[in-house]
Structure 1
């Protein structure tokens, strides 16, 4: 086979058969890894993202300190390279979450830095039925109290950073319409959002784990009375309970951590690679790394 003159163009000009093949692979597996297309610049990534995803979406309401590199293309390397990013479905705690993500690597880390992928249906299948039943039947309530200004000692993003505007009226109107509850407090914006803990995915409607309670849940030993919403008015930070407001057992979280570890698949990057992820069917994370690493992400 001869060398393709412009391999990036191959991805931006997929025909109907090729698009359907990608869609089928994504639906069946939750993630598709593209290699050999040399998508190296932000211009190329943006072009391919728009071709594969369609209209791109903003990271509005997100908790991660993610910045836009340009337009709706964001940096996905993360602020702390020494720590792993734990498994999560993007924006699973918010009223809206993207259906599909596209990652692209232009600079590979000197060491580490793999993006990790977790099949949500496999996670569900190996968890004890009692844990799955609790999360399916009771759901999750995510609690966030966002400070008024950036640079809070807690490290939590401010509400203007989170919602990408300083217009209080616009933010509270959005939150009161979209979240389960929202109110201003003397120290910030306090919201709750009740979501499913599991969902059905794929054409076969298979059950899948879909939450990040293991990241947001607080240890009662360090944050007492996590279920007391009156107390939350004086705390800045994030928390998670069952949807009925009761504490999520520590033993559940231990079993979830074990299931996630068993299902982790690391994607070792090469410069120019892309990773397409069904955000509902698969979770993702990141290994610690050293050296410079540049990974873009777009949402739809």
Structure 2
């Protein structure tokens, strides 16, 4: 296995690009820059020291993300706070979030993610980043081979009361027909249960070739969906809810169970090979969502990171 990490995200400050240390300075720089090329070369870029605030965010964000996407079919707990702008997650501060590519379980996923640090944590709270190629190469070959046919994801989205997210929150609508149309277009299997729960099954790839570089990367969220990925909470949840009624779960492509030790290995390798850059208030972080996976370190304080996708 390979565990050496030579890649680091790029940090660009006003002095690095000859720009004023203001939101307008960043906007001028971005208008004169081939952002697609910059991101393809660097994979992740921090824009630091430009004094970005919640009030000045949209100017730079519109230049970095041409069309912001709604977080439809997203599985993380978030709150919408602006024009397709969300809290990054509302998962409790004391827990780490393992490495993942945003919505890699879905039929379509964002190619870019833009994080904004409105309030930095008192301690901790970095967004670890991992080169997807390195993550793939560092996973035990036997485990990589076991995932060759892909991952089968299952969801049970309740009708307003229960564990996990409701289908209304997941799809940002109260209209069943709208959800059905979306799922048909996403090549998912689905069905309404007698209690109003929506059960969804999706077969997706475990790795992906980057559309620009052709590099193969680890690209799935089996470890986040699998019950073993919940750590100490897994056993307690399994005692309360039958396996086929869990809010979400993951299996091998043929529907057979994924061993818990495979899940633990994938998570540990992802976190081990990741690199951290501590947030500073006003930072923007642009991430290539195929080339690079991200997570979250535990923290204290009132950390507030916002995210948009395109």
TM class, shorter-chain normalised? 0.7 to 0.9
Hey, what's the Cα distance between the residues in 2 that align with 1:55 and 1:254?
Answer: 36
Aligned to 1:299: 309
Aligned to 1:240: 250
Aligned to 1:270: 280
- Residue 73 to residue 49, structure 1, CA distance change in 2 (3 Å): same
Aligned to 1:107: 119
- Deviation string, structure 1 residues 240-295 (Cα, Å, up to 9, x no partner): 01112111223322321231122111120111111111111111111111211221
Q: What CA RMSD, in Å, does the superposition of the two structures yield over aligned residues?
A: 2.4
Hey, what's the Cα distance between the residues in 1 that align with 2:268 and 2:306?
Answer: 29
Task: Please point out which of 20, 33, 42 is paired with 1:18.
Answer: 33
Aligned residues: 286
- Give 1:4 shift: 5.7
Query: What pairs up with 1:126-275 in 2 under 5 angstroms?
Result: 126-135=138-147, 137-149=148-160, 151-152=161-162, 154=163, 156-187=164-195, 188-201=197-210, 203-219=212-228, 223=238, 232=244, 235-275=245-285
**Residue 86 of structure 1 pairs with residue 114 of structure 2:** no
**Residue 9 of structure 1 pairs with residue 21 of structure 2:** no
Contact 1:32 1:276 (8 Å CA) reproduced: yes
Aligned to 2:3: none
Question: Where in structure 2 are there 5+ consecutive unaligned residues?
Answer: 1-14, 229-233
Aligned to 1:122: 134
Hey, what's the Cα distance between the residues in 1 that align with 2:88 and 2:20?
Answer: 29
Contact 1:27 1:202 (8 Å CA) reproduced: no
Partner SS for 1:138: coil
- Give 1:77 shift: 4.8
Contact 1:99 1:278 (8 Å CA) reproduced: yes
Large movers: runs of 4+ above 4 Å:
3-6, 219-224
Hey, what's the Cα distance between the residues in 1 that align with 2:153 and 2:45?
Answer: 30
Contact 1:197 1:211 (8 Å CA) reproduced: yes
TM-score, length of structure 2 as denominator length: 0.85
Hey, what's the Cα distance between the residues in 2 that align with 1:17 and 1:206?
Answer: 28
Hey, what's the Cα distance between the residues in 2 that align with 1:214 and 1:252?
Answer: 8
- Give 1:57 shift: 0.5
TM-score, length of structure 1 as denominator length: 0.87
Hey, what's the Cα distance between the residues in 2 that align with 1:208 and 1:147?
Answer: 33
Contact 1:89 1:284 (8 Å CA) reproduced: yes
